[in-house]
Amino acid sequence: MTKYIQKLSLYHSLVFFLLANLFSIIIDQSKNSNISPTICLILILTIGITHGSLDHIKGKKLLNILNINNMSIFYITYVSIGVSLILIWLSFPASTLLIFLLIASYHFGKEDTDFLINKDLRFKQLFFLLKGLLIVITPLNFHFTETINIFKTLFVESEKFYFILGFIENAKIIPLIFVLSTCASIYLFVKNFKTTNILIFLDFFSILILNYYLAPLVAFTFYFCFLHSIRHSFSLVVNLDQNSFKNGLFKFLKKALPLTILTIILCLIALFYLRNAYDLDNSILKIIFIGLASLTFPHILLEYLLEKNEK
């Protein structure tokens, strides 16, 4: 099954690489065209978050391992972590944003690569973090001011935070982090080399191209929805039915639909209230990034606990 997922992911990375180039060229040539935050939100709420919509099934599996029969414990804990994250963000936005970027980087690096890597690889968590930092560092490198403006819409008003970011830019630390991330990708590519490892560099150049030509929000949306989310969804589809991808896809969509719809409803409610104080684009940015953070933390914690207890 692992080899099948690796082969499927390689084809997916190749298609994504070609589409990233084509899409970037079209946007670059059409100087007046722009992808609105509204479209980004729609894509994230439909395609992007779907790969986490089976967490209730994983939660049930974790509770069974822990000999707990009450699923309400999972739902209450999961929702409480998400709500707590939002409250913490509102109280300590700069610190929470920094922690979120680091955790998200590790998550992206791990989920996009782990199925290729020998489980006994030393310091693989560090390599996953460095590889995933490419998602954070490329928009800062190519669109520093625009990325900072996104941070400012997320209630991050700390002058110290922006002073540190300015120092990082002026001291050329961003290129250094980029080099370290590149080295991590090279190491993961070479270690236990096989043909499917090529997808590491297909993804690497896709992310660079997207962030060079596109605005940070659009580049992130394209990556999150059509690379990260779809790749993770493929593994879920295969796990649901190892004999038929078509049947597995049907089962996945059926199981993912309830939580996806619930998340969409909650985000629309939040958007309705935010519109009373902020303009539409500003409100959408808050929902996308703070909302993703509130979903990412319990999602990653669940993955960690399940992996640890399965061992």
Residue-wise pLDDT for 162-203, tens only, equals 888 888 888 788 999 999 999 999 999 988 788 899 999 999
> Is residue 255 classed exposed, middle or buried when 0-12, 13-18 and 19+ CB atoms within 10 A define those classes?
middle
More confident residue, 308 or 261: 261
CA atoms within 13 A on the CB side of 117: 22
Question: How does pLDDT run across 113-165, given as a tens digit for each residue?
Answer: 988 887 677 888 899 999 999 999 999 999 999 999 999 999 898 888 888 88
- Examine the pLDDT at 25 and tell me if it is beyond 70: yes
Q: What is the pLDDT of residue 31?
A: 63
What pLDDT score does 33 carry?
A: 59
Burial 27-63 (b: 16+ CB within 10 A, else e): beeeeeeebebeebbbbbbebbbbbbbbbbebbeebe
pTM of the model: 0.92
Q: How far apart are CA 294 and CA 297, in angstroms?
A: 6
Q: Residue 309 — pLDDT band, cuts 50, 70, 90?
A: confident
pLDDT confidence of residue 311: 64
Eight-class DSSP state of 31: T
Domain ranges of the chain: 2-20+37-310
